[in-house]
Amino acid sequence: MNGITIAPKEKSPSGVLEKSGSSSIDVAEAQGFDEKATKKLVRKIDWHLIPFLSLIYLLCFLDRTNIGNARLDHLEKDLKLHGLQYNDCLAILFPFYIAAEIPSNIMMKRIRPSIWLTFIMVFWSVAMICQGFVKNYSGLLATRVFLGIFEGGLFPGVNYYITQWYPRHECGFRMALFFSAATLAGAFGGILARGISEMNGVGGIAAWAWIFILEGLLSILVSFTAYWVINDYPSTAKFLSDHERVEVERRIAADHGNLANHFAYKYVFQAIKDWKIYIHMLICMAGFCPIYSFSLFLPTIIKLMGYTANEAQLMSVPPYVCACVFTIVASWFADRVKQRGVFMLGFQVVAIAGFAMLAGTDRPRIQYAGTVLAAIGIYPQIPLGLAWNGNNIGGNMKRGTGIAMQVMGGNCGGIIASYVYITRDGPRFIKGHSLLIGIIGMAFFLTLFMTCYLRFENSRRDKVERETGSSYTDDEKREQMEYADNAPWFRYTV
């Protein structure tokens, strides 16, 4: 089922393979990196990487989804949008966003992350500002196209970037901290939109246009600092000492078993041929679809519960705050127990319950509680799913491609999400809520399948190893580096 079968190594006559060099523990102790020192090193990396990455993703997600807030300030009326034209403007972003993802991760590998991430951030900020000056449907479509092209590289790029700094079972929590910025974007978006709505008519510009312009200006100001703030790789990080750089790279190599890290297109094709990544693409699509539906339409859904536009902007904040807390806490626990699938299954059940509450009643309080449960259920799935897929792909180039493929699949959900909530289905949107219940249900069964399969495959490899009495030195692992996660000593995260 894995496509590649490798004969296990036999034990030497003495019963144990001779080590080639010191063990990882010996190396760590020789350098003085005991458990306390390692924790201090990881915290140091966290403080230099995660806050700024979270900030730029907050701005990215805010720029992508603030059109949902702008809609309440008469965007459709001023641009004379009718029928499905608003939904078309949402959907047009995603094909270009998807198309940019794999090329962007390849560029992350070919050139420095500080250069590439700065480049795309500057240009999506310009597209965002231009969106504030459009006068018609065609103009809005055009700016959304360019927004998709330049934003497409950030999310898969940063998730790949995180795997270059942390061992597999430390990535999930960091990805959650990074992705929690999306929930904060939803919270801040409502608050900012409420404040900016008071600028309606200032300079002859409508409130919805000011939302795009001011939030785009904020993004471009931050982008001008990105080149100097983003550290490329551990080997060149100025905030690390020489010993710390060696230790960070040793931890990554030990965790990934010396799998291939050099640039070669054959690893791209390895990812493209790996069926497991396509399952993760579907799970990710079923995660992003409700997230984009939620973020693009939540203000509208709340307004149609009977609240004013300003009340709806502010009431969209609490669901995101709850989602942020659960996203971070769940990924922290998942890293601690080194499992992903069971956490995803639990949150998928919570999300289904939330959308069922929205579809099953017309009582505003119960519906609003449903939005909170839905947010808690859908947002943690993305960092958990990305860490799960990334943990189970061996080798840097294959992993970078596999993560980009997964996010591509996820953002196909954005195209679907753009048409989940149609104006004619309001104010209850029962069809939309029911569709999302079905999509999350699909994710539940795929997640259950992958959890069971990976447990089975780990058990099979353990059994082969016990029966043959095989063991592997670092040199022997390097000989098999090109087999990626099909190497017989590789074990999947479940």
Given this model, what pLDDT does residue 473 score? Answer: 54
CA torsion through residues 304, 308, 311, 317, sign: positive
- Low pLDDT (below 50) residues in the chain: 1-30, 259-260
Q: Are 326 and 346 in contact (CB under 8 A)?
A: no
* Token couple for 191: 């608050």
C-alpha 161/C-alpha 111 separation (Å) is 12
364 upstream amide cis, omega within 30 of 0? no
C-alpha 289/C-alpha 69 separation (Å) is 18
Count Cα neighbours of 171 within 13 Å in the Cβ-side half-sphere: 32
Q: What is the DSSP letter of 395?
A: S
State residue 231 phi and psi, 5-degree precision: -90, 135
Count Cα neighbours of 465 within 13 Å in the Cβ-side half-sphere: 13
- pTM confidence score: 0.77
Tell me how far CA of residue 398 lies from CA of 267, 268, 453, 463, in angstroms: 5, 6, 21, 27
CB within 8 Å of 335: residues ≥ 6 apart: 169, 170, 171, 172, 173, 387
Q: Are 419 and 211 in contact (CB under 8 A)?
A: no
